[in-house]
Amino acid sequence: MLTMSSDPKVVGHGFETWRRALIETGVRDGLLWRLPEQRIVFRNQADNRSESLGERTALGTDPTGGYWAVQINEADTPGNANVTTGIAVNEQGAPFLIRQGRLNSPIAGNPHILEVDFRRLTNLEPTPVLNGDTSGKKREWHIVTRLDVDAEDIRDATGRFVDRCALARLRDAEVDGDLPDTAPVEGLGRDEQAEGYTVGPRIAVDAKEVRRLQGEVWQQLALLLRSAGILIDKPRHAAGYEVDAVIAAPAGALLVEIKTGNSAADVYGGMGQLQLYPRLLPRLGDHRLVLLLPGLPQPALVRAIDECGVLLHTYRRQSPDAYAKVEFDDAFLGLCGLD
């Protein structure tokens, strides 16, 4: 059980903690910020040219920033439950960022996604909040993130919530047949030989770094495709398995697995995922399978991938800097439907 806070200090500090966590690793790109690791973007909704976040923040999974999943808005009066976002505390005083289970339609005149549908479309359950109702209206509140935790945990929790909101909007639009125009309707191993062989040492890569690099590749690919009107999505199984990318290419849908290396281990992992996902998500069964690596692996692996019927393509980051430009091979871009 949480209690909505009306203490200006608690509320102000809570929102500032949340905004600071996002900005800390957010990559400024034009009028928005990107969080590659969480694969979301956000901006100051009131003034998108501002270098800081204000009381209204728009967040989404569309890398173009043209289609926002949810807004996190701070009320002018702390504790005002008429505003969709607030700060609540538990019995021990730990602060939480909470949001109502409702999403306004971006299309004038269309129905909003309200509490019952929000639960159904996001698979999220509300949390009881004292002082969370107004004028006899029972409002449903959902935890976005706990705030007395590491900034990385705040970003991760926020990313998950934004992803669920984006999924809700997509599912709702699919049912209505009315998708918004901008919506999305990882050292090298040696060849194997008969005799024993030695695999050279590899530099360990932290899982966080892998997620960030993979997120950068995904966001830049999605930006290219969506800017050209080509749909890209990240289907997810109910058990939590998430596909890297499904692309609605003109010549046929693609199921893409992205890796941040091209070692034997990376290839084994990617190939296994490409074989499993169509069985976990049957609607992907007729998609062509694509393994996307940052360079070609050893020749024996290239041959094996081809014999499995999987298309192998590559990308290259221009520098090791954060959010460096990613270049995809021409054949892959053509496969996706780009000139």
pTM of the model: 0.74
Residues 102/83, Cβ–Cβ less than 8 Å? no
Identify the pLDDT of residue 237. 61
Give just the sign of the alpha carbon dihedral 324, 330, 335, 339. positive
Q: Above 80 in pLDDT, residue 125?
A: yes
Q: pLDDT per residue over 170-190, tens digit each?
A: 776 655 444 333 333 322 222
For residue 255, what are its two tokens? 């199921």
Q: Above 70 in pLDDT, residue 62?
A: yes
Average pLDDT of 14-18?
Answer: 97
Identify the pLDDT of residue 81. 86
Identify the pLDDT of residue 172. 67
For residue 35, what are its two tokens? 């969080």
Say how many CA atoms lie within 13 Å of 339 toward its Cβ: 2
Residues 314/295, Cβ–Cβ less than 8 Å? yes
Which of 158, 150, 145 minimizes the C-alpha distance to 37? 158
Identify the pLDDT of residue 205. 54
Q: pLDDT per residue over 195-225, tens digit each?
A: 333 334 444 556 677 878 888 999 999 999 9
User: Locate tokens 């003109």: which residue?
Assistant: 250
Helices (H), 149-284: 151-176, 207-227, 264-280
Of the chain, the percentage scoring pLDDT greater than 70 comes to: 85
For residue 36, what are its two tokens? 């590659």
- Give φ, ψ of 139 to 5 degrees: -105, 145
Identify the pLDDT of residue 186. 23
Q: pLDDT per residue over 66-112, tens digit each?
A: 889 999 999 999 999 889 999 999 999 999 999 999 998 876 667 89
Residues 158/145, Cβ–Cβ less than 8 Å? yes
Q: pLDDT per residue over 24-36, tens digit each?
A: 999 998 889 999 9
**Span of 11-15, 44-48, 122-126, 289-293 with lowest mean pLDDT:** 44-48
Q: pLDDT per residue over 303-328, tens digit each?
A: 999 999 999 999 998 877 667 789 99
Identify the pLDDT of residue 145. 98
Identify the pLDDT of residue 60. 93
